Amino acid sequence: MQWTKRPIGCAVLMIVLAGCNLPPTASDELPPGMAHLRQAPAGSDFDAFFKEATAESELFRRRLLAGSESDFVSADLLAEAILKFRRQAPQHLKGRKGIDGFKLSGEMIVEAIAGRKRVSSRRAYGGFEGKWYGLWDKMSVDHHWSEIAEPDKPLRVEINGDESVWIRSHQYCWVGDGYGLNMIATGNPNSQSGDFLLGYVVHVENGDLTRPTKRRPHVGVFVDEGKLIWITAGEVFLEESYEISASLEAYAITGFFYKVKDNILRTTQCFQAVYTREPDKRPEWFSFPLELQVSR
């Protein structure tokens, strides 16, 4: 197994890589496309993180699709909430980055979570590569997104000894108070369809990778080039990379926090954060009052 960038080492019993016979990566080397990132697990630490990220986010995706828990969100409930947010949020976003480009139906959202179509790594993640600077609430945050790493063959990861998933590509990120992965996965590596987006973030204390404070699995929805929706167990993020002007790139995160109780989803806060390529240009965090409620 060879990488298009540089090989990741294999950790025995940590991650199952199809056809992998490479020696372990030296502990001071970073995974492919991550050389510019200081905050990255390396060597066998990265292999363990890769397996954890894949397994936890895939289990989260399965829970969304099962939809059998009254106090846990389901894919169809989220789809309805996202559509309602897309209809009602624009009145609060006048003069700010809009979300008109997120044109999709509830069925399309559920199908994306289920993995019904092939997804291009470049179209999904390419627009977010590099360094970004913004404000999250009152905190200055630097986001660093690596190049997209694509193995010659998809990487197989066993999920709790159950069915496997295969990772076609991934992108590492540092998100200000932690690190994570965006992945494009499939349940059938020989299929030309059936991709789904997985993500995972580990938050750490004071930038110290050895002191994790929280782990958050994500499931993604590819909307269009440079437009993604990321879902966690308490948040929805509509993310879009775009140009503010000919000389200033940006990406916006517009979304909401939510809670689910007795099959009812309620938003607790709605917001927008905008990041630019320039550390001295950090647009203000914007919070707006929009109370949404959907039930099943």
Q: Within its chain, how far is the Cα of 48 from the centroid?
A: 18
Do 169 and 5 contact (CB within 8 A), yes or no?
no
Cα dihedral across residues 225, 226, 227, 233: positive or negative: positive
- Structure pTM? 0.87
Least confidently predicted of 37-46, 74-83, 239-248 = 37-46
The pLDDT-based confidence of 191 (bands split at 50, 70, 90) is confident
Q: What does the angle CA 31 – CA 125 – CA 170 come to, to the nearest 5 degrees?
A: 30
Quote the crossing angle between the two packed helices 106-114 and 43-66, to the nearest 10°.
Answer: 140
- 260-283: average pLDDT: 94
Per domain, the residue ranges of the chain are 43-295
Sign of CA dihedral 236, 241, 245, 248: positive
Q: Report CA-CA distances (Å) from 279 to 93, 143, 145, 245.
A: 24, 11, 15, 16
Give mean pLDDT, residues 89-108.
Answer: 95
Beta-carbon count within 10 A of 205 CB: 13
At position 22, the amino acid (one-letter code) is L
| pLDDT value at residue 9 | 31
Residue-wise pLDDT tens digits, 178-190: 899 999 999 988 8
Cα distance between residue 40 and residue 267, in whole Å: 33
State the burial class of residue 134 (Cβ atoms within 10 Å of its Cβ: 0-12, 13-18, 19+).
Answer: buried
Over the stretch 215-248, which tens digit does the pLDDT of each residue have? Answer: 999 999 999 999 999 999 999 999 999 988 888 8
CA distance 198 to 289: 29
Lowest mean pLDDT among 17-26, 207-216, 232-241: 17-26
101-149 pLDDT per residue, tens: 999 999 999 999 999 999 999 999 999 999 999 999 989 999 999 999 9
Distance CA 195, CA 58 (A): 12
Residue 19: pLDDT over 70: no
DSSP classification of residue 190: T
52 Cβ contact partners less than 8 Å away, ≥ 6 residues apart? 200, 215
